[in-house]
Amino acid sequence: MLLLKLLGNRSHCLNCRTPTLQLQVQRCVNIWSKQGPIANGVSRNALLLSAKNFLYARNGARRWLSAVDTKRAAKSLRGTTWGDLKEIFALAAPYKGRLCLGLSMLAISSSIYLFVPRILGKLIDEFDEMKKKKEEAGTEDSASSLARYFKENPMAMLGVLFIGACAISARIYFMHTAGQLIINNLRTKVFSAVMRQDMAFFDKNKVGEMVSRLSTDSLIVGYAVSMNLSEGARALVTFFGSGALMVYTSLAMTKVVLFVIPIILGTFYVFGRLQRRYTQMMQEAVASANQIATERFSNVRTVRMLVAEKKEQAAYIERMMEIWRISKLEGIARGAMFGGFQFTGYFAMTVVLYYGSSLIGQGLLTYGDLSSFCLYAVFCATSLGNLSNFYTELMKGLGASSRLFELKNRVPAIPLTGGIKAEHLIGEIHFESVAFAYPNREESPIFTDINLKIPAGKITAVVGPSGSGKSTLAQLILRLYDPDQGRITVDGVDLKEYDPSWWRRQIGTVSQEPVLFSTTIWNNIAYGAEKAEEVENGRVQQAAQQSNSLEFIHDFPDGFQTLVGELGSSMLSGGQKQRIAIARALIMNPRILVMDEATSALDATSEYLVRQALSKLLANSHQTVLIIAHRLSTIKHADQIAVLDKGTIVELGTFEDLMRIEDGVFKKLVEKQTIGWREDSF
């Protein structure tokens, strides 16, 4: 029982418990050396027998370990994660000063707390007759004289322990703050990398999953190279320090404990790898659950309208079950690992005490030395356990980092910047034999052969059945995607040669479902400008007026300072949102305007107001305008109308031209809508 208690005290804060342990060790030694059979009815012979069995088991384990394909494992690690490891530590490089300070504090605290057991051992020997005789003969060593000094000046001992404690506090502070800096750095880098990605990337990756990686994974990686690094370094110093002191205290007993080490190492190697795999699986499962929560919470209105709460709950529970399944596996791996440590640790201590007591009996060891040795052995075993923690946390960090680095290092197919910035843009856009399929649906191309000239300073309308690719055409103009074949030119130059950001700044866009950000109306309108903070107040007012928004904005008590979006106190109607989006598109007086169903959400009056404003605007400016419209009556005055169907432009001309084509797609669409409107009116 005493042994159980002794080993049960093997905790991470061994340093503060040393006196208690010392006493317990002493009591065990007494029992073993003087009383023979020990508690729980286990005899010395039985212990020796189990030691023999243990040796057989160890050989078996060694054979089993060699059966594990270590070469292949190492190769796969080399291929996928050693690079990541280097990258993880590169993240820590900017904070090396802080990390080094933390590690210096570690050196101070470790030196103090490693020396304490030796001093305590010597204090015990103060009561040992054999030792006393040695001292009288003048053979006292420096540790003994230091022990005597501390015995006479207990406040000095307290002072040394206090310095050690301060060093520990400082270490934790430096490591903790370094960790947070690393996490912030990593999050910023990953966020910027994700923001740089092309649309194809966002089509393939789920937003909730990426947010989860940004929050949870970076936390794990940051911890792996800060607090974990410090714990690992502490474990390493303690392991080698106490190992060396074990040898110094008693070489014979050190040999006895040595045979357990390979087993402990093997245990944490195998289970550490296993744990890493489960952690990665867990991260993916949590990210998938987060994805569901994010998407459903942000679309809660749709869920409510479709009475889909139960369905969504079931989908979420399914993800929770998956997390539970992985968690059980992770639990088994962790349990087996810690059970393994506990077993090997207890076994080693049993053997040490047994053998140590017999050495005392033969006069080859003092009580104090055995006490110190046992404490060092416990330190050594604990640090081995901590090293295993360090290893598994590092593996966790590697697991979490591999996806993060993939995000961070991904090179977008369409860069954000780089290329020509034309001084005088005319704004003629030409689609030349363009073919395109969305990267995530390559099997069903949207365009097979598009040839279309969008003249500068004119209004071009694009119409076609739903799903024919009208919005896709606008996305290709904005260079959110590149054509698979053919090319798009602007003023005769391939669009790929222009600087993408510069090019997008020449285009004012109002999309089908405009999104406003959670900030004031003023900021939302100014957001369209290159430098929002430099936009003049008058310009914002003007854009609001052009889009017929001024009146309703003034109706809000806070006017332009009214908060909108998710955090907004005032919810805007669809029409109001659309008009603010139009103001945002107009703020920079863009050379090209792309209106994708820009008036679809407006009621008849609002639509009239917006249309009137736009007509005025278009009449006075010489912008190139592309209108994607469903209400065909609204594009009567367009300079040309392109009809999209089955992946190509099937008709092109003015409203009158197209209405003259018998059995034409456009004519049919117009007729269908006219009938639809008539039916609607009943």
Ligand X SMILES: Nc1ncnc2c1ncn2[C@@H]1O[C@H](COP(=O)(O)OP(=O)(O)OP(=O)(O)O)[C@@H](O)[C@H]1O
Q: Which residues bind ligand X (CB under 6 A)?
A: 203, 438, 440-441, 446, 464, 466-472
What is the maximum alpha-carbon separation in the chain? 125
Nearer to ligand X, 464 or 528 (CB): 464
CB neighbour list of residue 308: distance below 8 Å, 6 or more residues apart = 302
Runs of H (alpha helix) within 126-226: 129-136, 142-152, 154-196, 199-204, 207-212, 218-225
- ∠ CA(444), CA(450), CA(452), 5° rounding? 150
Q: How far is the CB of 571 from ligand X (least distance, A)?
A: 24
Q: How far is the CB of 510 from ligand X (least distance, A)?
A: 14
Q: How far is the CB of 481 from ligand X (least distance, A)?
A: 9
CA dist., res. 212 & res. 82, Å (int)? 24
Contact between residue 540 and residue 522 where contact means Cβ atoms under 8 Å apart: yes
CB neighbour list of residue 88: distance below 8 Å, 6 or more residues apart = 221, 224, 225, 397, 398, 401
Nearer to ligand X, 135 or 295 (CB): 295
- ∠ CA(631), CA(635), CA(636), 5° rounding? 120
DSSP 411: P
Radius of gyration from C-alpha coordinates of the chain: 37
Q: How far is the CB of 612 from ligand X (least distance, A)?
A: 24
CB neighbour list of residue 484: distance below 8 Å, 6 or more residues apart = 435, 436, 437, 445
Q: How far is the CB of 465 from ligand X (least distance, A)?
A: 7
Q: How far is the CB of 630 from ligand X (least distance, A)?
A: 6
Nearer to ligand X, 450 or 544 (CB): 450
Residues β-bridged to residue 5: none
CA dist., res. 113 & res. 167, Å (int)? 11
Residues β-bridged to residue 453: 430
Nearer to ligand X, 40 or 466 (CB): 466
Q: How far is the CB of 509 from ligand X (least distance, A)?
A: 14
Nearer to ligand X, 438 or 527 (CB): 438
**Distance, C-alpha 640 to centroid of its chain:** 49
CA dist., res. 287 & res. 207, Å (int)? 10
3-state secondary structure 46-100: HHHHHHHHHHHHHHHHHHHHHHCCHHHHHHHHHHHHHHHHHHHHHHHHHHHHHHH
CA dist., res. 444 & res. 437, Å (int)? 6
Nearer to ligand X, 472 or 640 (CB): 472
Phi/psi at 79 (5° precision) = -65, -40
Phi/psi at 458 (5° precision) = -120, 165
Tokens of 650: 């099937």
Nearer to ligand X, 322 or 645 (CB): 645
Q: How far is the CB of 394 from ligand X (least distance, A)?
A: 39
Q: How far is the CB of 644 from ligand X (least distance, A)?
A: 7
Q: Are strands 447-454 and 429-436 parallel, antiparallel or unpaired?
A: antiparallel
Q: How far is the CB of 462 from ligand X (least distance, A)?
A: 8
CA dist., res. 319 & res. 313, Å (int)? 10
Tokens of 394: 């590092």
Q: How far is the CB of 193 from ligand X (least distance, A)?
A: 20
Neighbour count for residue 269 (Cβ, 10 Å): 16
Dihedral Cα 652, 654, 658, 660, nearest 10 deg: -140
Q: How far is the CB of 600 from ligand X (least distance, A)?
A: 9
Nearer to ligand X, 391 or 436 (CB): 436
CA dist., res. 634 & res. 636, Å (int)? 6
Q: Helix, strand or coil for residue 325? A: helix
Residue with tokens 């006017």: 559
Nearer to ligand X, 352 or 462 (CB): 462
Nearer to ligand X, 87 or 596 (CB): 596
Q: How far is the CB of 646 from ligand X (least distance, A)?
A: 12
Nearer to ligand X, 399 or 469 (CB): 469
Nearer to ligand X, 304 or 441 (CB): 441
Crossing angle between the packed helical segments 227-249 and 367-409, to the nearest 10 degrees: 150
Nearer to ligand X, 184 or 633 (CB): 633
Nearer to ligand X, 34 or 646 (CB): 646
Nearer to ligand X, 203 or 309 (CB): 203
Q: How far is the CB of 443 from ligand X (least distance, A)?
A: 11
Q: How far is the CB of 446 from ligand X (least distance, A)?
A: 5
CB neighbour list of residue 176: distance below 8 Å, 6 or more residues apart = 226, 227
Q: How far is the CB of 619 from ligand X (least distance, A)?
A: 27
Nearer to ligand X, 241 or 464 (CB): 464
Q: Helix, strand or coil for residue 679? A: helix
Contact between residue 126 and residue 151 where contact means Cβ atoms under 8 Å apart: yes
Nearer to ligand X, 47 or 446 (CB): 446
**Length of the chain as a residue count:** 682
Which of 334, 636, 244 is closest to 463 using CA atoms?
Answer: 636
Neighbour count for residue 354 (Cβ, 10 Å): 18
Tokens of 231: 């714990």
Q: How far is the CB of 197 from ligand X (least distance, A)?
A: 14
